[in-house]
Amino acid sequence: MKKLFIYIILSTLTVASAFAQKDADAKVILNRLSKQYRTYDAVKTDFTLTIDNEQANVKQTQTGTLVSRSKVNKYKVTVYAPGKKTVAQEIISDGKNQWTFLKDANEVQLNVADNSDEGFNPAKIFTIYEKGYKYIYTGQQKIAGRIYQVVDLTPEDGQKNYFKVRLMIDKAKNQLYSAQIFDKNGSKYTYTLRTFTPNYKVTDATFAFNKKAYPGVEVVDLR
């Protein structure tokens, strides 16, 4: 789950030599999305994750919430158990440290935050396409009366365990609506943003782990 999240929902290259590998229409759409997102201090979104693998007869849906302040690489991700309102996992980062709370084990794993391009960093969810991807605009789709622009991303690193990310962007709002990750094992992971709150009011305390809020939790320092 940690790695899957950054693959989107899991964000346009500025290197002139790479432009030949990019689709001009897709570049305009992604640049516009990225420019708008970078004007926000913090954002909050409620999302739905659907995992679908027909061959393995697996279809599962989970919900979650992301609060992020991308300029300083701070975030908090809360994922709920399938079909329930109880927290299954939380991932919190203050930009220096990352805490991963696992409900089933009542354990928190403490690591140094990885702010590299390859690291798990939900704070960069809306700009993930800026490095390491080729992209192409595949057209528009109309869903429930709204028009969405569809852009397919292909990782330049062929060693990734997924081969495509499909973004759907609300044309009128200029907001990411969904991201679908196509895994090489046949699984599809679809993140759909149910709500999006720009310039969300949040304090730094949100991005720090408070042990008092997790009675009896064991903290495992992996730094």
63-87 residue pLDDT tens: 999 999 888 889 999 988 877 778 8
Complete DSSP assignment for 4-51: HHHH--------GGGGGGS-HHHHHHHHHHHHHHTT-S-EEEEEEEEE
- Give tens-digit pLDDT for 161-185: 888 889 999 999 999 898 888 888 8
Q: Using the predicted structure, report yes or no on whether residue 187 has a pLDDT greater than 80.
A: yes
pLDDT at res. 8? 39
Q: Using the predicted structure, report yes or no on whether residue 115 has a pLDDT greater than 90.
A: no
Which bin fits 96, alpha (ψ -120 to 50), beta or left (φ > 0)? alpha
Handedness of CA 117, 120, 121, 127 (dihedral sign): positive
pLDDT at res. 34? 84
Q: What is the mean pLDDT of residues 20-25?
A: 66
Q: Using the predicted structure, report yes or no on whether residue 127 has a pLDDT greater than 80.
A: no
**Closest C-alpha among 108, 82, 112 to residue 213:** 108
**Sequence-separated (6 or more) residues with CB below 8 Å from residue 175:** 33, 36, 169, 193, 196
pLDDT at res. 153? 87
10 Å Cβ neighbour count for 179? 27
Query: What does the alpha-carbon distance between residue 17 and residue 162 come to, in Å, rounded to a whole number?
Result: 25
Q: What is the mean pLDDT of residues 144-171?
A: 89
Q: pTM value? A: 0.78
Q: Provide the token pair at 18.
A: 């790479």
